[in-house]
Amino acid sequence: MKLMTQKFGEIEVPDNKIITMIKPILGFESLTKFCLVENEEMLPFLWLQAIEEGSVSFIVVNPKVLVDDYNIEVNKIELAELEIDQVKSVETYVIATIPDDPMEMSVNLQGPILINTENNFGKQLVLVNSKYNVCHNVMDAVEYENEEKVTQREEVIV
């Protein structure tokens, strides 16, 4: 399928790459079909592009890239809705927000998007009573990871 997008112009989306959101993204309830678009310059970030509306897309990233110990509990109902048989067939993404000052970029760790890669069903979860923030600063996460690596290197050297 050919899709005209605001960010990328016309792109080709194979039918087997179309993600059906069984529970829409909050605030975008009329949009249920998406695809992931990779842009080499932005990796590890991807674009979650709406199929029904070429002007709507979200920047997403695997949360483990930013928070090593990011783990969420998914209940049986949510697993059943996505028809998940194996955990390894699930990809998790969080939506990033990039304001005018890129140093203020944040991700929503409380609203992860799960995608079953076997059937391309997706769903945004809303984590209740979570230790994660709606606005987790990306630069803080990067700085923390860098500090951890330096500390680990220093421990190895000593």
pLDDT of 148 higher than 80? no
Q: What are phi and psi of 48, to 5 degrees?
A: -100, 100
Give me the residues paired with residue 23 across strands. 123
Q: Which pLDDT score is estimated for 154?
A: 47
Q: Which pLDDT score is estimated for 88?
A: 86
Q: What is the pTM of this model?
A: 0.86
3-state secondary structure of 147: helix
Q: Poorest-confidence range of 46-50, 57-61, 76-80, 138-142? A: 138-142
- DSSP code per residue over 43-98: TT-EEEEESS-TT-EEEEE-GGGT-TT------HHHHHHTT-S-GGGEEEEEEEE-
Rg (CA), the chain: 17
Q: Which pLDDT score is estimated for 107?
A: 98
pLDDT tens digits for range 86-104: 888 999 999 999 999 989 9
Rounded to an integer, the average pLDDT of 129-147 is: 77
pLDDT of 76 higher than 80? yes
pLDDT of 157 higher than 60? no
pLDDT of 150 higher than 50? no
Domain 2-157: give its CATH architecture. Answer: Roll (2.30)
Comparing C-alpha atoms, which of 79, 105, 106, 107 is closest to residue 94?
A: 107
Name the average pLDDT for the chain: 89
